[in-house]
Amino acid sequence: MVLSKPRYINIKGQLIDLEVPRVMGILNITPDSFYKGSRYNDEKEIIVAALRMLEEGADFLDIGGYSSRPGADDIPVEEEKRRVLNAVRCVSKEFPQAIISVDTFRAEVAREAVCDCGAHIVNDISGGDADPEMSELISELNVPYIIMHMRGNPRTMQNNPVYEDVVSEILMWFGQKTVSLMAAGVKDIIIDPGFGFGKNISHNFEILRRLGEFSIAGLPIMVGLSRKSMIWKTLDIKPGESLNGTSALNAVALLNGADILRVHDVKDAVETVKLISMVNNRLN
């Protein structure tokens, strides 16, 4: 049975309509993210980038300080806090109407980002698997929680990932996670199939082709295809040349039911959403 997806997510009492898909801009406060155009390492750069994304139409800003590229080094929690918390704080202060997502799998970082710095959403690439305290924290904070599927961790996830049926196995994992989260009192859950996280290129395109099957979960779907290696390796180009490919695959994702696009290039994603929404008759 396919469940009806929620039309809204609740951001501290503000209902955000998902009838028309939303765009999340990426702010990486890291020195080693795979796409150098998304790295911001001082307060001025962060504020300029946030302003540009908001002016281009970003609905959410996703701030993270732990690189999740394949083979990325682990960093201590204090280093992640140093990178992330000041960035969340300064964006929240400079743009008080902005909706900020904190990209972390550590409950300690999530708590401080939400309670002390002004974040509104927690985006967890481990779906709660990396920190057993996360689900209880999300319930306590009563914030939307993005759970992404990842096999292994950033250091190991691309070591020959194997699935019998990649979509069915991810859906089963989401089913188990959402039952557990709902039992813990988590209300607003968004699912992300995790393109490139413990999947090879063939797996990624299979997920994209079958993205509509994820609607069976009855939850909003976020996709992160922006400048991923499935694009630039397939086209034999560099990440910096992969904007056109990103827009093409984002269009496919929207046609197959994506509710949120997580992107490096906000303007292009907003235009893609507008055009596909016209195709789907979701705009006046």
Could you please report the per-residue DSSP string of 190-207? EEE--TTSS--HHHHHHH
Over residues 159-163, mean pLDDT? 78
- Is residue 196 a contact partner of residue 228, using CB atoms and an 8 Å limit? yes
**Where residue 154 falls among pLDDT bands split at 50, 70, 90?**
low
What pLDDT does 155 receive?
58
| 26 DSSP β-pair partners | 62
Give the range among 12-21, 67-76, 88-97, 184-193 with minimum mean pLDDT.
67-76
How would residue 106 be classed by pLDDT, with cut points 50, 70 and 90?
very high
Q: What is the DSSP string of the chain?
A: -PPPPPSEEEETTEEEE-SS-EEEEEEE--S--SSGGGB--SHHHHHHHHHHHHHHT-SEEEEE-S--STTPPP--HHHHHHHHHHHHHHHHHH-TT--EEEE-S-HHHHHHHHHTT---EEEETTTTSS-TTHHHHHHHHT--EEEE--SS-TTTTTSS---SSHHHHHHHHHHHHHHHHHHTT---EEEE--TTSS--HHHHHHHHHTGGGGGGG-S-BEE--TT-HHHHHHHT--GGG-HHHHHHHHHHHHHTT--EEEES-HHHHHHHHHHHHHHTT---
Q: Which of 83, 89, 199, 262 is catalytic?
A: 262
Active site residue 177: no
Whether the pTM exceeds 0.85: the reply is: yes
The predicted-structure confidence for 23-73, as pLDDT tens digits, reads as follows: 999 999 977 554 455 556 789 999 999 999 999 999 999 999 987 766 667
Please tell me the predicted confidence (pLDDT) of residue 147: 98
**Cβ atoms < 10 Å from Cβ of 168:** 12
Answer whether residue 88 shows pLDDT above 60: yes
Q: Please tell me the predicted confidence (pLDDT) of residue 30.
A: 79
Say what the pLDDT of residue 67 is.
77
pLDDT over threshold 90, residue 168: yes
- Supply the pLDDT for residue 62: 98
Closest CA to 170 of 221, 104, 225: 221
Q: Which residues contact 108 (CB under 8 A, 6 or more apart)?
A: 77, 81
Per residue in 122-141, pLDDT (tens digit) is 999 999 999 999 999 999 99
> Is 81 known to be catalytic?
no
12 pLDDT band, cuts 50/70/90, is confident
CA atoms within 13 A on the CB side of 200: 7
Domains and CATH numbers, the chain: 20-279 (3.20.20.20)
For residue 163, pLDDT beyond 80: yes
Percent of the chain residues topping a pLDDT of 70:
90
